[in-house]
């Protein structure tokens, strides 16, 4: 089962990573100025990950596939790592869809 890990960046912003059951990071958030905003971002991921249309399938400048997850307002709420293939990116998207809706939230703020 997946989990959202909330942490604090060196600049004081909050962020979360969605980790799959094997501990691999499958989605990383943007930075948030407050913990409450970060937790709202997690709720947005849980809701929007159920809709395939919310996943933007993209290519980096060096041709690596990756994806962004967007909210209904078009705002980016998370991004993936760079993948070696389109198939690997699709597996990443499927993993987010499977893990996000029921993932627990864990805070690692130390």
Q: Where are the domains of the chain?
A: 3-108
Which residues lie closer than 8 Å to 57 by C-beta, 6 or more apart? 65, 67, 86, 89, 93
What percentage of residues in the chain have a pLDDT greater than 90? 97
Using the predicted structure, report yes or no on whether residue 109 has a pLDDT greater than 80: yes
Return the sign of the alpha-carbon dihedral for residues 93, 94, 95, 101: positive
What is 3-108's CATH topology? PH-domain like (2.30.29)
Band of residue 1 on the pLDDT scale cut at 50, 70, 90 = confident
Share above pLDDT 70 across residues of the chain, in percent, rounded to a whole number: 99
The 10s digit of each residue's pLDDT in 8-21 is 999 999 999 999 99
**27 contacts 78 by C-beta, under 8 angstroms:** yes
């Amino acid at each position: 089962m997946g989990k959202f890990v909330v942490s604090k960046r060196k600049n004081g912003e909050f962020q979360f990573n969605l980790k799959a059951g094997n501990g691999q990071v499958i989605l990383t958030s943007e930075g948030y100025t407050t913990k409450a905003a970060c937790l709202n971002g997690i709720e947005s991921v849980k809701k929007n990950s159920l809709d395939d249309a919310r996943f933007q399938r993209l290519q980096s400048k060096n041709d690596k596939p990756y994806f962004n997850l967007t909210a209904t307002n078009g705002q980016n709420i998370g991004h993936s790592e760079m993948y070696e293939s389109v198939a690997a990116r699709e597996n990443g998207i499927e993993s987010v869809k499977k893990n996000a809706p029921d993932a627990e939230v864990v805070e690692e703020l130390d």
